Structure 1
C-alpha cells in the first residue's frame, strides 16, 4: 500500500473525493446531467475490466475512508462485498490496494465496522489471499536474488487487515484459530531478516491473537517458539528491530502457560532483558539526533523522492496528526493497553522519512514494553475504579448474594517469585519511574518545529501515561524493599507531586490525570502502610481534588477521593490537624451528596469512614462539621440509589463494593452515636 507503481502507471493526483484531477471536468459534466455519489462511482469502477482502473478505484477508496464521515456511504453500498473478491484479483497491484482499502476501512471505522466486515465474510477471501501469499513467500525464499518479492507488499496489507479484525472481533479470532492462520502469520514473521515492515505487521498480529486465547496455545510448536526466541536475541541497533523484539517479548509472555517449567525461567529472563534494554533508550537524546540526521541528509540532497500515499491508511505528516486526534482513545484504556483503533502509523510513512520512522518505532517499542510490564504486574483483579471491598462478615450480608464467589476479585495484585525477581534484577521499577517524567524539552522543541514530526508529541505523552499506569501496578504488586526502601518511595512521591503541581494549573488532560492519580493513590497507600510522612500539603491536596472532581472520567474522581481518604486517615493520627480534617470532611460530604455517579458517592463515603474512624483530632473535626447528622441524612439516600440504580447501571463487582460500604456506613453511624454521647 502506498508503493510506487512506475512500471505500470504513475498514479495521478487526487481531488478531495479521491478522483483523478485530469478527469475532474469530465466528472463535473456528468454530475450536472445526473448527480452521483462519489462512493457509488468508485465502487462501480471496481468492476472495470482494466486492472489499472480497479487499482485506482481501490486507492481512491482507501483515501476516502480515512474520513470517518465517508465510511457509512461506502458501507451502505456493500463496499466490503465489492472489495472482497478483489483480494483474489489476477493483478497483484489490485490485491494490494484492495487489501489496503479494507485495512483502512477496518482501522478508521473501529470495532463496529470490523464486526460488520466479519459478518459479511471478508475472512474467507482474506484467508485464501494469505495462503497464496505464503506460497509466494516460499517460492521467494528459494530464489537466489536479494530483491523483495512483490507478494510481500500484498501480505503486509493482508496481515494488517487480519490484525485489525482479530483485535476487534471475537468471531474473527475464532476463525483465526479454526482456519490455522497461525502458521501463515509466523511465516510472515520470518521475513524479518530482509523485510522488517512485514515482520512487524505479523508480530503485531501475533501479539494480539495470543492474548487470552487458550484455544490457540495447543497450536504453538517448537519451531514457532524458536522463531520468537531468535527475534528476542537480535542485537541490531535499528529501532524497528527494537519494536519487533518488544512485540515478540509480549507474545512470549502471552504464551508462557504453554511453556515447560524449564523453558519458562529462561524465557522470562529473556523477556525482561528485552523490555529493560528498550526502556533504557533515551528518547530525549535519540529523537533530536534523528532529526539532525534527517536535516543533514536533506542538505546533501540524498533524500528519496516522495512516494504517493493514495492507498495508505494515513497519508503521512499532518494527515497523521489529524487522524491521531480523531482516533484519540480517551482516558479509559484497558490495563493491557489495547485500543479500539490502533495508532501505529510507522509503516505508512513515505520512504524518505526514514529517521521519522525510526523515532516512531522507538516510541512504539517503549509504549509496548510498558504495556507488557503492566500485564506482568496484573492479576485478574478488577481495576482501581472498581475498588477493593471493605470487609464485612457474612452475618451482615443478608439475602443479597452479589458478593458470592467474588472474594478472589478483592485480593491485592501479586507477583510470582520468578516475575518479581526478573523485574528487580533488570531494574524495571527504576526505569519505569524514569519514563514517567514529562517528555524532554529538547525533543519537544524538535517535534514542534517540523509539521511532519509533530505526530511524535502525542506519542511521547502516551509513553509517559503508560509509564504512570505501569508504576501504579508495580506499586500495587511489590513490597517496599523491592521498590528501593523508604528513601526511594519519598523520592517517587516528590517526583509525582512535581508532575501535578509544577505548572501554574494542574494538567487537565484526562488520560494523564487518570494515570497520575492512580500512581499517586498507590504510592500514598504504600507510604501510609509504612508510617512514612505524607508528601502533599493540604492546599495541594484540595487543589488536586477540585481539579479531579471537574473531570468526566469516573476513575479520576474515584482516585482523588481515595487520595483524600488516605491522606486524611494519616493526618488523623497527628496532633493539631483538626482544621485540615474538617476541610477534607466537607469536601467528601459534598461529593457524597452531589456527584451523579453512585460509584463516586460510595468512594466518598468510604473515604469518610477511613478519615474519621479514630482519634481525637478526627472526633473534634467530626463535631465541627456535624458529620453524624450529615451521614444520617445521606444513609437512606445512598441505600435507595443502590436499590434503584445499581443493578441496571453497575457491574456485580461494583455492586458488591457498594453493598459493603452500605453495611460499614450503618456500623460507623452506630459508632459515631456512641462517641458523640461521651
Structure 2
C-alpha cells in the first residue's frame, strides 16, 4: 500500500534439483583451476546444452546470493542477464529453476530489483507470463498433488514464481510497472483470482501483484473498474488464514481503484474489520511451541543420493524427486499459515491508513524567504496566532468517521500494536526471524494507522483526553523497556507525538511529571541515531514545554536549543524549532530567554537553517516548503525575542 515495504512470501528451497549440495559445489568451483571465479563457473553452466547443468548453475546462483558479500560480484558480472534468457528456455524444469532463483534474488533489496530490471529480466519474464495467458488460449489449469500437501505441478509452480518475481519488481521500480502496463496482461491476471480453479497460493500471489500494480496507476484503474463483481466476491471468503489474506488483499485492490472504492466502501470496512478482529496471539503461541522441531528436522533428514541412478532417471522422475525434496513439513506449513494471518492484518492496517488520509494543504514551492525585509517587524510574529497542530474537529468524511467508530478500528488497531509475550518473541528470535519481522511489521503498520487517525479525528471521538493520556503512557513504557527496533521506534514515537498533540489543552494530566521522568525523554534524544525518531522526540518535548512548570520548561528549551545547534539534519532542526516556538504562544518566558541567551542561539540557528536550505532542496523534496515556513517563522521569532529583551530587566537587576 506504499506505506511500508511488504514482506514477501516464503522463499523457495535453495536446493531445487536435489542433485548436489550447493555449498559444496561452490567450494569446488572456488578451487577449480579451470574457472577464474565461481561466477564464471555459473556462467559456463548456464550456457551449457545440458538442462541439468543449467539447473545446477541456477541453484548455485540462488545460494551464493544469500550471502551479501557475494552480491557485488554478481552485480559486476553478466550472470543475471545471461540467466534471464532461461526464463523462456525450451525445458520446463529450467524455466522453473530460473523463475525460483530470480524470485529469491528479488526479495533481497529494492536495489537488486532495480539491477535486475537494468539487466532486462522483464522482457523474458513478461514473455513467459504471456504464454500462460494470451498464448494459452485460457486452457491452462494447474493440477494439485493431494499426497504432497497440494503441491502444484511444475508448470503451475513456475507461473507462481514468475508472478511473485513480477510483484517484487513492480513494487521496487516504476520501470517494471510501466512495462507491465504496456504488456496488456492485467485483464488476463484477474481470472487467476479464481481460487477454486487456480488454488489459493496462485490466487494470493496474483492478488498481491495486482495490489501493487493498482496503486496510483490510472492505467490499471480503467481495467480493474470493470471487475467489481469478481473482486467483491472474494470479500465473502471465510475460513482459514489463506482465505483471510486473499479477501484482505482483494479489499486493498478495491480500495486502490477509486470507482470501486466509492461503490463498495461499506463492504471494504466490514472486510477490514473481520480481518483485524482475529486474535493472532493464540496462533503465534501455537506455532512457537513447534518451531524448535523445524531446526531438528533440517538437521536429521539428510538424503544420500545415488548419482548413477539419477543419471538414468527420466525428466518426470527427476521432477518428482525434486518435488519430494521441496515438500514442506507440517511445521513449515504452520509457519506459512500464521505468516499469512500476520500479513493480512498488516495489509488491513495499511488500507485503513490510506482510506483515512486527508489531502494535505498545497504548499508553494517557490517560497523565497530571502526577500524578507526588516520592514517585516516583530508584529509579523504573532505569539497567539501560531498554528496549533491539533484542531479538535474531525477531518474525515462523515461516512468514513462513522465506520471507524462503529467498527471499533481504534481499539482493534491498538490491540495489534501491542508487543507479543516475551517468551514467544524469544522463540521467534532463536528459530524464525522472518516470522518475527512480520509481527513487527504488523505492530508498526497498526501504530502508523493510529497515528493517521489521531491526526484526523477529534479528541472526543478517540475516547477523550484521559484515555489518550493512558495510551501515551503505555507507549512510553514500551519504548523505554522494549526492543530497540528502529522501525518500531519510529512508529511508536510517531504515535506518541500524535497522541500528545491531543493533550495540549489538558495540562492537568501532567502535574505529577517530574524532572526524572523528563530525563528519560532527554536521554531518548541524546541516544537516538535516527533523525526521524529524534525529530519525534524533539517535537514531543516542545509540546510538553507548553504543559509543564517553568523549571521543566527551561530544561526542555535548553535541551532543544543545544541539540539543534549540534544537529546536521535540517528536517529534525525544523521540527524541533517549530515545536519550541509553540512554547512561547501563551507566555513570553523572558527570564528563560535571558538565562539561556536564546537570542544569540536562535540567530545562529536561523543562519544555519538559511545556509542549509540552499543545499538541501532536493534532499528535503516535499518537505522543503514546510521547512521554509519554519525558517521564516524563526527569523521573525528572533526579531520578537530581540524586542522583548530590550525592555526586559532580569530578576537579579530587579532585586538590586
Normalised-by-shorter TM-score class? 0.7 to 0.9
Check the 8 A contact 1:558/1:603 in 2, yes or no: yes
Check the 8 A contact 2:531/2:572 in 1, yes or no: yes
Post-superposition shift, 1:641? 2.5
Given candidates 589, 593, 608, the residue that maps to 1:638 is: 608
Check the 8 A contact 2:22/2:59 in 1, yes or no: no
Given candidates 554, 570, 581, the residue that maps to 1:598 is: 570
Q: 1:477-522 CA distances to partner (integer Å, 9 max, x unpaired)?
A: 1112221223322332232232234x3xx75432222111111111
After superposition, residues 51-70 of structure 1 pair within 5 angstroms as: 51-70=51-70
In the alignment, the residues of structure 2 paired with residue 494 and residue 452 of structure 1 have an alpha-carbon distance, to the nearest angstrom, of 32
Post-superposition shift, 1:208? 0.7
Post-superposition shift, 1:566? 0.6
Task: Select between 620-629 and 140-149 the one with higher mean Cα deviation.
Answer: 140-149
SS in 2 for 1:528: coil
SS in 1 for 2:251: helix
Q: Which residue is equivalent to 2:125?
A: 126
SS in 2 for 1:612: coil
In the alignment, the residues of structure 2 paired with residue 100 and residue 558 of structure 1 have an alpha-carbon distance, to the nearest angstrom, of 42
Q: Which residue is equivalent to 1:350?
A: 328
Post-superposition shift, 1:58? 1.8
1:416 maps to 2:393:
no
In the alignment, the residues of structure 2 paired with residue 73 and residue 525 of structure 1 have an alpha-carbon distance, to the nearest angstrom, of 50
In the alignment, the residues of structure 1 paired with residue 552 and residue 235 of structure 2 have an alpha-carbon distance, to the nearest angstrom, of 53
Q: Which residue is equivalent to 1:39?
A: 39
TM-score, structure 1 length as denominator?
A: 0.77
Q: Could you tell me which runs of 5 or more consecutive residues in structure 1 were left unpaired when the two chains were aligned.
A: 309-347, 400-409, 572-576
Q: Could you tell me which runs of 5 or more consecutive residues in structure 2 were left unpaired when the two chains were aligned.
A: 1-10, 305-325, 377-388, 651-656
Q: 1:422-481 CA distances to partner (integer Å, 9 max, x unpaired)?
A: 222211111111222211235325435xx5434323332232222222221111111122
Q: Which residue is equivalent to 2:529?
A: 552
For this pair of structures, how many residues does the alignment match?
Answer: 590
Q: 1:74-103 CA distances to partner (integer Å, 9 max, x unpaired)?
A: 343322331222111222111111112222
TM-score, structure 2 length as denominator?
A: 0.80
SS in 2 for 1:439: coil
Q: Which residue is equivalent to 2:315?
A: none
In the alignment, the residues of structure 2 paired with residue 72 and residue 517 of structure 1 have an alpha-carbon distance, to the nearest angstrom, of 36
Post-superposition shift, 1:70? 2.0
After superposition, residues 660-671 of structure 1 pair within 5 angstroms as: 660-671=632-643
Q: Which residue is equivalent to 2:186?
A: 182
1:241 maps to 2:243:
yes
Given candidates 370, 386, 391, the residue that maps to 2:349 is: 370
1:516 maps to 2:524:
no
Q: 1:377-433 CA distances to partner (integer Å, 9 max, x unpaired)?
A: 3235499xx9xxx9x9x987999xxxxxxxxxx998942222222222211111111
Task: Select between 429-438 and 53-62 the one with higher mean Cα deviation.
Answer: 53-62
Q: Which residue is equivalent to 1:232?
A: 235
Q: Which residue is equivalent to 1:102?
A: 102
Q: Which residue is equivalent to 1:525?
A: 501
After superposition, residues 254-653 of structure 1 pair within 5 angstroms as: 254-255=256-257, 257-259=258-260, 264-265=262-263, 267-292=264-289, 350-352=328-330, 353-381=332-360, 414-447=395-428, 451-501=430-480, 503=481, 508-529=484-505, 533-534=509-510, 537-571=514-548, 577-615=549-587, 618-632=589-603, 634=604, 637-638=607-608, 640-642=610-612, 644-647=614-617, 649-651=619-621, 652-653=624-625
In the alignment, the residues of structure 2 paired with residue 295 and residue 668 of structure 1 have an alpha-carbon distance, to the nearest angstrom, of 65
Change in Cα spacing, 1:639 to 1:669, as seen in structure 2 (3 Å) is farther
Change in Cα spacing, 1:307 to 1:230, as seen in structure 2 (3 Å) is farther
Q: 1:178-231 CA distances to partner (integer Å, 9 max, x unpaired)?
A: 111212332333236652222221122111111111222112243x32222122
Check the 8 A contact 1:582/1:624 in 2, yes or no: no
Pairwise CA RMSD of aligned residues? Answer: 3.8
1:253 maps to 2:246:
no
Change in Cα spacing, 1:5 to 1:467, as seen in structure 2 (3 Å) is closer
Q: 1:15-45 CA distances to partner (integer Å, 9 max, x unpaired)?
A: 25547xxxx4xx577x24x342111111221
